[in-house]
Structure 1
Amino acid sequence: MAKDVIVLEFNELTPSVVDRLIALGKLPNFAKLRSQSIVAITDAEEAPPALEPWIQWVTVHTGLSYAEHKVFDLGDGPRLKEPRIWDMVSDAGRKAWICGSMNAAVQGGSFNGMVLPDPWATDIKPQPAGLFDPYLDVVRTYVQEYTTNRPGVSKSKMLRFMRFMAGNGLSSRTMLETIRQLVGELSKPIHWRRATILDRLQWDIFRRFYRTERPALSTFFLNSTAHFQHYFWRNFEPQAFSVNSDAETQKKYAEAIPYGYQKMDEIIGEARALAGPETSIVLCTALSQQPMLDHEDIGGKQIFKMHNQDKLFAFAGVPEGYTYAPVMAEQFHLIYDTEAEAQKAVERLRGVKLPDGTSVMMARCEGSRVFSGCDLVTHPAASAKITSTASNETPAFDAMFYPVEAVRSGMHHADGMLWICTPEHMHTVVERRVSLREIAPTLLTLADIPVGNSFALPPMPELEWVNPAISQAA
């Protein structure tokens, strides 16, 4: 029987939080998986501003450092033409199933497998062509407009989405949890939990096609708990912060982070049930988080989003002819046909300022693409007006932007989690910090895909403690 690998890419889970919640008995499936795995802490080998998941996941998938792959922004993954691990699986004549992996790309025109891009992707196409469109049309809107209670999804798109889910794995458990969520929102402030419903929907899709295709390599990416950590760490560990939330906000979000971990724990249990006798399950987080304490003097880092991008761009005098592509939080791409247009757009966006001359927008040019977003981290005075080099109008800042409900209180940390549960289920703890660059050759070796001299670093030598044949193959 051929060996295969399921990679659970649970973005930015934090080792100390997992340990704490396991000790409290809240994560039984994490505990079981850990007890049967090679357990390691990974090292992202980067510092800010290059400590970002859309950078580190490219390293995980290619074995290349940031200095080598040079992918800096979310959405820029397809610009890298080096092969990912799934390309190597495809080239070896075996199938791959890429479900939501961040900043992914596929090389060549004859990929042997399936690709469901992450919801922030702009330049990677789903494979097979058209299959996942009904799902992505809805999920992208909900993820990119997560701060809006009523994202702009038409009835026709929602109907297509529901038909797609009904025919592609929608489980009774997901249906029940969705109903509970929507009913619960009528009486409780639990709108933030919707992110875990999207997790369940994506897991249903992943499981459906894993069962039918039985790929050699599968990746399954989730981001909900990373999002909770970024915005609700202040409520999870109020004692770590000098500025605390008011009582109502504290009550609303105190359990958000544990809730996210517990919902992922459920998926780990289902993944273990899904795996075959020759399947390795790998839990990888790429990096982790820690309390963000460097903005306490201003009450925490506030994120601002545009009320209406077309209105703001018109006020700024941004050249027309762009394709608008929102990514994560307040950030977005503007895609033009020429670099000259993109450079003009950067100039105009940077020309939006507060009365004291502070630039409201961060913007930079990357060929014919612009990467931008609101650059402020604290709310201006209520009476603050903004100006533009292209307009005589002076609208209020609040007329153009609104603050995301919770201030950011979690920030990235270079440590990550890597648990490798092989079919032998033998447990050991790796005493060193493992480079992210070791993960790509390790995953391929677990799937019996020869790596040769494709990588700067070899597969993890600790694998021989579990199965000497793996070390010999490396």
Structure 2
Amino acid sequence: MEQFYMRSQPPSAYVLTNPTPERRENCAVVMLEFNELSPTLITRFMDAGELPNFKRLYDGSSIFTTDAEEASPNLEPWIQWITVHSGLSYDQHGIFHLGDGHKLDSPQVWDLLSRAGRTVFVCGSMNSRYDLPINGAVLPDPWASGTPPYPAGTFRNYFTFVQRNVQEYTNDRIPLSSGDYLRFLRFMLGHGLSVNTGIWIIRQLIAERMNPNSRWKRATILDKLQWDVFKNWHASHRPDFATFFINSTAHFQHMYWRNMNPDVFTVKPDPTEQSEYRGAILFGYKEMDRLIGEALALTDDGRTILILCSALSQQPCLVYEDIGGKTYYRPRVFERVLEFAGVEGPYRIEPVMSEQFQIRFEKEASAKAAAEALRAVCLPEGPAMEAHCHGTDVYAGCNVYRQLPKDAPLMGPDGILMPFFRLFYQVEGLKSGMHHPDGILWIHDPYTSADHSARRISLRDVAPTLLSYFDLPATVEMTGRAISTTPGSGVPKADKLRCR
């Protein structure tokens, strides 16, 4: 029989309490995974009255600050989200690159819940993996390469469309056919496309015709489409555990922190640029505020625990100001860059975030040769490419982050010169937000009262906590402990579960 303890006075004494059987049988969890939201900015915007639904959720939640317990270069969301979902530290799981989540040998929370007979829906969770059979559905993040959607027949057309749009977001040409658009539209019409989303998309496209600089707002379209799909599946299947991941505001913070708070930066934004982007980050938070309002309504059934998790957060990026701010460059056509470097196939290229991309080879020797060839591509002052070989895979990208002259020459391994900008293009804007290990974890639990004591916990504690809601113990590999949402308890729930 499950046993819980609540702290009383004195601190060393505990009172044994038991939840009702209904809680164990009927509990459901929805976890909103809003990537890299800043606790500081949320507080600022809530205090200004800009985020009424965030405030409603905050007022009714137990508030925790998570610590990713990592520093650069290991402080990346595709590393931290694996920790959230598996309960393993980076030292344990060892997954360093985005798109490699499928290589993880350990189960994630939804695998353990599925094995226990619970139904699950994983919607967009970053760098995810899953075991088959799984009792539910999985819609991977747009950067996933080795993790297909499940059921494949249900989500394939949607996943392909979204993946190509996201991976080539900075490019003027998206590799999609008219048939791809038609199949995507058919999917959305049958899987929850809302009138509000349709109207917003039409208005956005019209706005772009009138002001091409407003294209940046397009990043929130995926949020709206993904939420429509999530709501439709959740209403139809009522999973016991569901995740919903979005990334647009993290993108806005990386790109537009300089515009939101120019005083802390040496490189000031252009006045014309400032007029367009000064409110971009607040715009992103207000868009997420609308989703939180809908999530509160969706889960207002007296049995569903609503959790908001960010895994990590951001802060102003000031470390590149002495070189004019951080910019980055992306291949116009990936195959042409590899051809210039003398890389031989067969291979498969998978774009990732920013300047990065992966190359999959059939043989390890081919991968090693490709990494060496790419590292030999140079500008006059040094290497232009970074490439790391892991088995048959190469993780590569342009490692130049400063402003280059328009006539910058690029030299290949064989000494042939090529204009740099014939192979690469500069992504618009300067990076102005960087990662911070603090994250938010708000738990809106209908079975407990709110707690704003702002306790600090390890990110490794999230997975055991999720399992504890379903009376499942942490695995032996998990080094975190389930936390209690009982105000003032100060007692890890995992310890309580061990005292059966």
Which bracket does the TM-score occupy, shorter chain normalised? over 0.9
* From 56, 59, 62, the counterpart of 1:38: 62
- Other-structure match for 2:12: none
SS at match of 2:183: helix
The CA RMSD measured in Å over matched residues stands at 1.8
Q: Which range is displaced more, 379-388 or 75-84? A: 379-388
Equivalents in 2 of 1:452, 1:316: separation in Å?
46
Say yes or no: does 1:303 pair with 2:333: no
> Structure 1 pair 376/273, CA: closer, same or farther in 2 (3 Å)?
same
Equivalents in 2 of 1:460, 1:32: separation in Å?
22
Say yes or no: does 1:83 pair with 2:95: no
User: Normalized against structure 1, the TM-score is what?
Assistant: 0.96
Say yes or no: does 1:145 pair with 2:141: no
- Other-structure match for 2:44: 20
1:430-469 to structure 2, matched below 5 A, reads 430-451=453-474, 453=476, 455-463=478-486
8 Å contact kept, 2:149–2:159: no
* From 181, 188, 193, the counterpart of 1:170: 193
- Other-structure match for 1:211: 235
Equivalents in 1 of 2:354, 2:426: separation in Å?
11
Say yes or no: does 1:255 pair with 2:255: no
Equivalents in 2 of 1:148, 1:473: separation in Å?
51
1:315-354 to structure 2, matched below 5 A, reads 315-354=340-379
SS at match of 2:249: helix
SS at match of 2:428: coil
SS at match of 2:421: helix
Q: Which range is displaced more, 147-156 or 195-204? A: 147-156
Equivalents in 2 of 1:212, 1:292: separation in Å?
43
- Other-structure match for 1:183: 206
- Other-structure match for 2:138: 115
- Other-structure match for 2:339: 314
Say yes or no: does 1:131 pair with 2:154: yes
Cα offset, 1:153, TM superposition: 1.5
Cα offset, 1:151, TM superposition: 1.7
Cα offset, 1:452, TM superposition: 6.6
> Structure 1 pair 224/469, CA: closer, same or farther in 2 (3 Å)?
closer
SS at match of 2:410: coil
> Structure 1 pair 200/136, CA: closer, same or farther in 2 (3 Å)?
same
How many residues in Structure 1 have an aligned counterpart in Structure 2?
471
Equivalents in 1 of 2:491, 2:340: separation in Å?
65
Matched AA of 2:201: T
Matched AA of 2:69: E
For residues 248-290 of structure 1, what are the alpha-carbon distances to aligned partners after superposition, in whole Å with 9 as ceiling and x for unaligned? 1111111110010000110001011111320000000000000
Equivalents in 1 of 2:486, 2:464: separation in Å?
12
> Structure 1 pair 463/328, CA: closer, same or farther in 2 (3 Å)?
farther
Say yes or no: does 1:412 pair with 2:413: no
Matched AA of 2:96: F
For residues 74-133 of structure 1, what are the alpha-carbon distances to aligned partners after superposition, in whole Å with 9 as ceiling and x for unaligned? 0111111101000010010111100000000012x2111100010000100111122111
8 Å contact kept, 1:98–1:115: yes
Cα offset, 1:469, TM superposition: 12
Matched AA of 2:378: K
Cα offset, 1:453, TM superposition: 4.9
Equivalents in 2 of 1:342, 1:384: separation in Å?
28
SS at match of 1:111: coil
> Structure 1 pair 379/202, CA: closer, same or farther in 2 (3 Å)?
same
8 Å contact kept, 1:424–1:466: no
- Other-structure match for 1:3: 27
8 Å contact kept, 1:430–1:462: no
- Other-structure match for 2:17: none
Equivalents in 1 of 2:486, 2:240: separation in Å?
19
SS at match of 2:340: helix
For residues 35-84 of structure 1, what are the alpha-carbon distances to aligned partners after superposition, in whole Å with 9 as ceiling and x for unaligned? 00000111000011100000000000011111111111101111111010
> Structure 1 pair 453/313, CA: closer, same or farther in 2 (3 Å)?
closer
Say yes or no: does 1:55 pair with 2:83: no
Q: Which range is displaced more, 316-325 or 448-457? A: 448-457
* From 70, 92, 99, the counterpart of 1:68: 92
SS at match of 1:174: helix
Equivalents in 1 of 2:477, 2:419: separation in Å?
55
User: Normalized against structure 2, the TM-score is what?
Assistant: 0.91
Cα offset, 1:456, TM superposition: 2.1
Equivalents in 1 of 2:90, 2:491: separation in Å?
31
> Structure 1 pair 137/452, CA: closer, same or farther in 2 (3 Å)?
closer
SS at match of 1:461: coil
1:233-312 to structure 2, matched below 5 A, reads 233-275=257-299, 276-312=301-337
Equivalents in 2 of 1:151, 1:53: separation in Å?
25
Matched AA of 1:459: A
8 Å contact kept, 2:484–2:491: no
Identity of aligned residues (%): 45
Q: Greater Rg, structure 1 or structure 2?
A: 2
Cα offset, 1:424, TM superposition: 3.5
In structure 1, list runs of 5 or more residues that go unmatched: none
1:97-112 to structure 2, matched below 5 A, reads 97-107=121-131, 109-112=132-135
Matched AA of 1:165: M
